[in-house]
Every structure is written in C-alpha cells, then in structure tokens.
Amino acid sequence: MKKLLPLLIFTLFVASCVPQIQTQRQEAPQNWKAKTLWESEEKIQRVIVADIDPEHSGDEIISVASNGEVVYIYESAGQWANDILWVDTKSLTGAAVGELDAAHPGREIIVGGEKGHVELIQFDTKKHQTIFDKGGSIHGLSVAELNAAYSSQEVVAVDEDGNLFVLFKDEDWESSLLLKDTGRLRDTVIGDFDGTHPGLEALVVGTSGKVIQVYVENGNWKTKIINESSEALGRVAAGEILGNIPGPEVVIVGDEGGTYLLKQEEGVWSSEEIFRDNDGLRGVAVDNIQPNLPGNEVVIFGYSKNVIMISLKNGKWVAKTLWTDSDRAHSLSCGNISPSTSWKECVVGGYSTKVTGIFY
C-alpha cells in the first residue's frame, strides 16, 4: 500500500491539471412541458414561427413535411387549430415568411423543396404562385429587404446542389444565381450582423462548413466568407446573446454535434464552441424562452432527440435538456406562439411526424 500511495497522489495531481469542459450539462426543472400541436403522416421537414396574420394575437406556426403538406397552426381561444394551406406533389424542406405582396394584408409564406420550386402562399385565401423554378432541391429560405432597389422584400434560396439564389420582384419575379458552393447548402438567416455594412445581410451555411454572407453594395449583390468550420454545418440562427457586444451574435450547428457562437468585434469575426451534443444537430434558435434568466438563450435540437437550452451563467455556458422527442430532429423555431405569456416558446419537428410546442 505504501508503494502505491505516491502513484495515487501523482494520478490525482495530473487529473487536477486537466482543463474542465466549460459547458455544464443539467436536466431541466419540471416546469417545462411539451404539447403536440399537429401530427402529420410523414416527417416534419421545417417549422417556422412568425407573425403572419395581423388580426391574430401573437405568432403563428408554419409546418412543411416530406408529403408536401403546408400546414398553418395557431392558438385560438385557448385551443390549437390547424389548416392545410397547400399540398405539393413532392417533399418540402424550406419555408419562410415575409412581406412579398403589397396588395395582400399580413405576410406571405414561401415554401420550397424537392421540385426545385419556390411557392408563394397567402395564409387566408390559400392562393399560391410559383415564383421560382430553376433550383435543385431547395433546403433553406429567408426573406427580408436586402436591396432597396426593389419594391418588395427579397428571398434568399439555397439548394442541395450548392446553389445560392436571390429572388426579387421587379414587374415579375426574377432570380440571380450568386454562387455555387462546393457542398450542399442547407439553411439561411437574415439580420443586421455586420457592423461594417449598412442595412441587412443574409448568412448561408452548408456541408462545406463555410458561413457565407450575402449583402448589397452600391446596388450590386456581393458574397463573402466570414467563417469556415471543419464540421459540416446544418443550421444557423442569430440574436442578442452577449450584452457587451453591439448587434446580434450568430449561432451555427453542425453534423458532429458542435454548437458555435460567432461574434464580430471591430470588423473581425471569431468563433467559439459553446456546446457539443453527441449527434448531429438540425435545429437552432436564439430567443428569450425562460423568463427568470437574463437576455436570450440558445436552443438546439438534433439527432440525439433532445431539445437543449444553452445559457451563460457566471461566465460559463450551461446546457439543460428541456425535453426528449421520440425520434430524430429536423427543425426548431421559437417565438410568441402563446400570447398569454411575455416570453417566447419553441416549436420542434422531425422524424416523429409531430409538431411539438415546448412551454415554460
């Protein structure tokens, strides 16, 4: 025993010198609840939370599935209602919401998928119009005013062939191919990310690991790479997380479970891994979903089936599992789907075929 004692002391000393993983994993308290809001017959490919109907209090949900369904989901008099707006003949993977028809009150829905088309749909009349038909299988869509030269907002569309398109309406809907990436493009988000550029920018991610910025300069479309990861990327989101840095931060998630925070300081982008799940990630959002925590939280969802909330506590990233789905994830979005609360809720969908709300 005396001979083993020095070895034991040395082993404990070495262990104490190994850096500890900064992200702490905890189980969520019992006040997180999950509720099924819609069930399809096939996989839910994308869920989007947005304020679509100006007459309805709070946000609504759009779900698209591999059977081509576009479903409008909303809370009414304390109950959850749904309406199938349109059914495509092929699988749908991308969806977004924006102001794309000045003659129509409220916002419009755009969806895209396996056919390579982008369809514009009115939530109330169910009228739909094909505004683009030149892509590969569409995986990601985003909408906002990027270019002041056009009367309506513009659409960023990305496909599995690596094509990055912008769609814009002059008299008719037109499109421009901005670049072809070396991998599949999967997701896009629009916001005011770049402090060196006036106006909004779009960010695009995919299997090449690049984070590509789309912006307008002197009326011309431009692209540049702001970050490159060694991990294939699946989703991107943005929001205010770090109070000491102006503007929103960007969060990207990857096929190997990595969650990365991108921030810009004095025009220079940097990346920090804030969490690693044990499987690929297919959903990420930044929003204020827990009212007793300061600021916004990061929420992720992936093939591990877990909905995980990540937040800063005493300078360290803390992760909590809020809920576990019955099957793998494919999408996550957050917003004010329950108008009775001042904070936000999240909606998830995937291989379980269910759209599930996560409530605090």
- Reported as a pLDDT band with limits 50, 70 and 90, residue 30 is low
Average pLDDT, the chain: 92
Q: What's the CA gap between 268 and 102, in Å, rounded?
A: 38
155 DSSP β-pair partners: 143, 167
Q: What's the CA gap between 288 and 172, in Å, rounded?
A: 39
Torsional class of 278: left (φ above 0), alpha (ψ -120 to 50), beta (otherwise): alpha
Decide: 131 and 141 in contact? Cβ < 8 Å: no
Q: How many CB atoms lie within 10 A of CB 307?
A: 25
> Mean pLDDT throughout 283-299?
95
Q: How many CB atoms lie within 10 A of CB 46?
A: 28
Q: Does the pLDDT value for residue 8 go beyond 80?
A: no
**Selection from 237, 209, 239, 242 nearest residue 225 by Cα:** 209
Q: What's the CA gap between 269 and 262, in Å, rounded?
A: 7
Q: What's the CA gap between 145 and 20, in Å, rounded?
A: 44
Q: What's the CA gap between 153 and 161, in Å, rounded?
A: 25
Q: Does the pLDDT value for residue 26 go beyond 60?
A: no
- Reported as a pLDDT band with limits 50, 70 and 90, residue 23 is low
Q: What is the pTM assigned to this prediction? A: 0.91
- Reported as a pLDDT band with limits 50, 70 and 90, residue 246 is confident
List, for residues 279-289, the tens digit of each pLDDT value: 999 999 999 99
List, for residues 300-312, the tens digit of each pLDDT value: 999 999 999 999 9
**Selection from 325, 253, 312 nearest residue 284 by Cα:** 253
Q: What's the CA gap between 177 and 127, in Å, rounded?
A: 27
Q: What's the CA gap between 125 and 225, in Å, rounded?
A: 40
Amino acid at 154: E
Least confident of 10-19, 112-121, 175-184: 10-19
201 DSSP β-pair partners: 191
Q: Could you tell me which CATH number the domain at 23-359 has?
A: 2.130.10.10
> Mean pLDDT throughout 209-223?
97
β-pairing, 354-359 with 60-65? Answer: unpaired
Q: What's the CA gap between 50 and 153, in Å, rounded?
A: 16
- Reported as a pLDDT band with limits 50, 70 and 90, residue 192 is very high
Q: What's the CA gap between 174 and 149, in Å, rounded?
A: 13
List, for residues 57-95, the tens digit of each pLDDT value: 999 999 999 999 999 999 988 899 999 999 999 999 999
Q: What is the pLDDT of residue 151?
A: 82
> The dihedral of CA 70, 37, 304, 202: what is its sign?
positive
Tokens representing 64 are 């698209």
